[in-house]
Amino acid sequence: MTSSKRQMRLGAFIMATGHHVAAWRHPASQSDAGLNIDHYRELAQTAERGKFDLVFVADSPAGWERAKDPEALRRSSRGAHFEPVTLWAALSQVTSHIGFVATASTTYEDPYLLARKFASLDYISKGRAAWNVVTTGADVSKNFTIPGHPAHADRYERAEEFVDLVKGLWDSYEDDAFIRDKENGIYLDPDKVHQINHRGKFFTVSGPLNVGRPIQGYPVIVQAGASEPGRELAARTTEMIFTANQTLEDAQEFYSDVKGRLARYGRRPEELLISPGIFPVLGGTEKEAQENYDYIQSLIHPSIAWTILQRHYKGVDLSGYSLDDRAPPLPENTELNKSRLKLVTDLVERNNLTLRQFYLAVAGARGHRTVVGTPEQIADAMQEWFDNGAADAFNIMPPILPTGLTDFVDQVVPILRRRGLFRKDYEGTTLRENLGLARPANSFALARATRTAV
Ligand SMILES: Cc1cc2nc3c(=O)[nH]c(=O)nc-3n(C[C@H](O)[C@H](O)[C@H](O)COP(=O)(O)O)c2cc1C
């Protein structure tokens, strides 16, 4: 029986060997995970066993490691990994309920091809696809034949047009366009197949798309940028937002700010789910959890530590500093990932960190919330945010994989369930049904219905 109490949504945010930068060195991790399909199959099935709503992979059309130092590169594990849509297409065949969130960039992808890929994934998974819309903070322009990485504002302007265009393409076929009447030889109703004839600032695309309307109408649209234009994009067009917050107050500010923007677009607060990340370091006791954390932190090589720091100090020469010096001020402006820079700046200033404390603070969760403790304490930390206007969902970021996810499913999920905060079984078969999100109407059908009604 479904509980009437408001339910938490859970996503498994999968980073091949685990989220911690040194995870691949841990005895429990799968060191070749990035290209090991059996490993991902196990993770998707574990998350589904725990009745998670979704699995999610981040992505960039480049290796994650942009270390200039050859020593750091030699010790980095994240350069080679699967492309998300093809990965999820395969795993949808060995699961039945869990949703699949694939990250794809509005800066570096093409709208027609992206619409086609995600519509196909939605059919292949029988309605379990979602697109994590990112503008790509990092400059990966050298992998593409373009003059350079567009500025932050330009990337978001393009993203706004991109998302609308993709939704338009998903409406190319109305839901009842296919007649498939063998006897009379009528396959489809041409009045229900549409060219979108889009002409915008960035794109000119006629359509129709060569895939039918996705099973969910549109795959669920997720967004993961928290700057001012990122929040606006989420409020206007997306249904779930992945975010990183350190403190309850910051998370509450973000939650109420983003929810407060929805009315302007004729949307209700529950039409956008807010999902902060959490990096849970588990132990049977508090002491054991801390030891587990200290051990994985001890696996970070100094060259990796400096690479992490340099990533935040873009354009700043750190060669005169030692790790025990107080962290100097971070650069004030960036054209890359604005919200994450603000988050780490606040973290450093609030806690008056040394450079060593700074890299240790972000080596695992990269700015997301870290909770080190017993399963009860992890559940408490989640419930605190869920009950206090800071989260509708959580992106669980296991430090080490596969064990970090298995432990969470076996030890934390039962506690959330006992507290009536999390489902015992899936409510539906599509990702939208499980997330409680409505299936969007086809814009052409809607326009015709409105014309007829007038
Ligand atoms: C949980 C989370 C996951 C993200 N995943 C990605 C990703 O996979 N690829 C990417 O390019 N950016 C990712 N981002 C960053 C942004 O989505 C964003 O496109 C961009 O860097 C600008 O962010 P801003 O609006 O916060 O400045 C992620 C952000 C968060 C909070």
Predicted confidence band at 450 (pLDDT cuts at 50, 70, 90)? confident
- Average pLDDT of the residues in 416-437: 98
The reply to whether 152 sits in an annotated binding site is: yes
- Relative to beta strand 186-188, strand 178-181 is antiparallel
pLDDT on residue 1: 44
Q: Given a cut of 60, is residue 86 above it in pLDDT?
A: yes
The reply to whether 59 sits in an annotated binding site is: yes
Q: Which helix (H) or strand (E) holds 120?
A: helix 111-124
- Relative to beta strand 129-134, strand 220-223 is parallel
Gap from CA of 52 to ligand 1 centroid (Å)? 22
What percentage of the chain has pLDDT greater than the value 70? 97
pLDDT on residue 454: 66
CA 11, CA 85: separation in Å to the nearest integer?
Answer: 17
pLDDT on residue 67: 65
pLDDT on residue 225: 83
Q: What residue's CA is closest to ligand 1, atom 24?
A: 225
- Average pLDDT of the residues in 387-412: 98
pLDDT on residue 341: 85
What percentage of the chain has pLDDT greater than the value 90? 87
Instruction: Work out the end-to-end distance of the chain between its first and last CA atoms, rounded to an integer number of angstroms.
Output: 43
Closest ligand 1 atom to the C-alpha of 242? Answer: 1
Q: In the predicted model, what is the mean pLDDT of the chain?
A: 95
Q: Given a cut of 90, is residue 102 above it in pLDDT?
A: yes
Query: How is residue 52 written in tokens?
Result: 């998670």
Residue boundaries of the structural domains of the chain: 9-291+370-453, 301-362
Closest ligand 1 atom to the C-alpha of 103? Answer: 8
Give residue-wise pLDDT tens across range 141-156. 999 999 999 999 999 9
Give residue-wise pLDDT tens across range 179-190. 999 999 999 999
Amino acid, res. 353:
L
More confident position, 59 or 69: 59
CB neighbours of residue 359 within 10 Å: 24
Closest ligand 1 atom to the C-alpha of 156? Answer: 25
CA 226, CA 239: separation in Å to the nearest integer?
Answer: 14
Query: How is residue 443 written in tokens?
Result: 């814009």
pLDDT on residue 272: 98
CATH number of 9-291+370-453: 3.20.20.30
The reply to whether 76 sits in an annotated binding site is: no
Q: What residue's CA is closest to ligand 1, atom 20?
A: 137
Q: Given a cut of 60, is residue 2 above it in pLDDT?
A: no
Residues in contact with ligand 1 (CB, 6 Å cut-off) = 58-60, 103, 134-137, 224-227, 230, 242-244, 277, 337-339, 395
Alpha helices per DSSP H over 75-219: 84-91, 111-124, 152-170
Gap from CA of 333 to ligand 1 centroid (Å)? 17
The reply to whether 312 sits in an annotated binding site is: no
Gap from CA of 360 to ligand 1 centroid (Å)? 21
Give residue-wise pLDDT tens across range 311-370. 899 889 999 999 999 999 998 766 667 778 888 999 999 999 999 999 999 999 989 999
CA 416, CA 144: separation in Å to the nearest integer?
Answer: 45
Gap from CA of 233 to ligand 1 centroid (Å)? 13
pLDDT on residue 125: 98
pLDDT on residue 404: 98
Amino acid, res. 198:
H
Q: Is the dihedral of CA 101, 107, 109, 110 positive or negative?
A: positive
